[in-house]
Amino acid sequence: MTELTELLAAMIRLPSVNPCGRKPEDPYEGEARMTEFVQSWFAERGIESELQTVMDQRTNVIARVQGREEPPLVFEAHLDTVSVEGMTIPPFEPRIEEGRIFGRGSCDVKGGLAAMMMALVRAAEADPPPRSLVLVAAVDEEYLHSGIARFLRDSGPIAGAVVGEPTELRVVIAHKGAVRTRITTRGVSAHSSNPERGVNAVYRMARIVTALEEFAADLHQRPQHGLVGGPTLSVGTISGGTAVNVVPELCECMVDRRLIPGETPDAAFVEIRDLVSDLLDEDDDIAATLKDCAVETDRSEQIVGMAREAVREYTGEDEPEGVAYCTDGCDFAERGIPLVVLGPGDIAQAHTAEEWIAIQQVETAARIYEHMMRG
């Protein structure tokens, strides 16, 4: 087992499930174990790092290698994972089989983070790199991107960024953004034997969901982006009522709207709000819980050229691409920072019941990142 594979296995053993807005309470929740591990690993290898508090018990690790020029290049990957619910393998017991390593976070995105960490150490062993290097191991990517938002608030100028999500080592220059909207309808409770005495909040929400379904179909007819496809909308969750024999007085649904480059989060939210406004009463609520812009980096940007050169050296597949999912790259793009998304693993394996990543891709990713760091 190589040093890099051992590093990834050690990280898989550390639960870091995103608590999704709650204070970490479950034994598997929170990134604290990963934060401590990453900082200690860097310290043992003489790499300067600092902790950056994002919220209670949730802290970014920021490592830095001084280069000959500023501003720095930023390499970013997240510490958190999604839930282990529904997994059919032991989530925190890394298993190696047929060139793959299994476990929660192996693909999304501890494989990419491990490769970045190893590349930074290797880059620091030689002469000072052409440009200073910053590695951000961020919390809360899987929920609100609050970790990278906190880093960028005080980061100062950044020359370019590499976001380490699973792209199968393809250079991704465009991806969708997201607006998540919470809609709440209110009614009046009553005994179900006399439902006419109440107002059913679920029935009211049903009309809204039907309108959203029709709108989602209309979105499919809009022009598509050449790299990421078309805009989409999906109602992801709905909940209401307290018992089968009580007319429900409250119902809530969550709506996920994916944006393509050229659309704005504010305009997308307003469109949803206007669509359902006639179905809402003054006591109802509609609010955006997340607004992430879409990403599109110009091919002429230096960071794109650096990524293409490095990938071409090790895989030969350097043509820029787009993806439909969303990453921390949204936050860099909102601040005008050119970026690429580039990492080992197949997004189809992320969040799955038997999550895994090809070990060879992790090893190649480390070499690609090191190539970029050395300029």
pTM above 0.85, yes or no: yes
Predicted pLDDT at 375: 87
**pLDDT tens figures, 91-125:** 999 999 999 999 999 999 999 999 999 999 999 99
Rounded distance between C-alpha atoms, residue 9 and residue 110, angstroms = 9
Predicted pLDDT at 328: 93
**pLDDT tens figures, 145-162:** 999 999 999 999 999 999
**pLDDT tens figures, 3-60:** 999 999 999 999 999 999 888 988 999 999 999 999 999 999 999 999 999 999 999 9
Would you say residue 85 has pLDDT above 90? yes
Predicted pLDDT at 198: 98
Rounded distance between C-alpha atoms, residue 375 and residue 205, angstroms = 55
* Cis bond before residue 199 (omega within 30° of 0): no
Q: How confident is the model at residue 240 (pLDDT cuts 50, 70, 90)?
A: very high
Instruction: Tell me the average pLDDT across 266-293.
Output: 97
**pLDDT tens figures, 335-348:** 999 999 999 999 99
Q: Which domains does the chain have, with CATH numbers?
A: 3-175+294-374 (3.40.630.10), 177-292 (3.30.70.360)
Sheet with 356-358, strands from edge to edge, namely 95-97, 100-102, 356-358
Instruction: Tell me the average pLDDT across 358-365.
Output: 98
Please list, in sequence order, all residues whose beta carbon lies within 8 angstroms of the beta carbon of residue 298, skipping any fewer than 6 positions away. 173, 304, 338
- Using a 10 angstrom Cβ sphere, with 0-12 exposed, 13-18 middle and 19 or more buried, the burial of residue 31 is buried
Residue 248 and residue 242 in contact, taking contact as beta carbons nearer than 8 Å:
yes
Would you say residue 199 has pLDDT above 90? yes
Instruction: Tell me the average pLDDT across 311-325.
Output: 96
359-374 and 111-125 helices, crossing angle to 10°: 40
Degrees (nearest 5) of the Cα angle 349, 224, 141?
A: 40
Q: How confident is the model at residue 126 (pLDDT cuts 50, 70, 90)?
A: confident
Per-residue buried b or exposed e for 230-248, using 16+ beta carbons within 10 Å of the residue's own CB: ebbbebeebebbeeeeebb
Would you say residue 168 has pLDDT above 90? yes
Tokens for 17, please give them. 């499930």
Instruction: Tell me the average pLDDT across 208-214.
Output: 98
Of the candidates 121, 151, 204, the residue with the CA atom closest to the CA atom of residue 373: 121
Using only C-alpha atoms, the chain has a radius of gyration, in whole angstroms, of 22
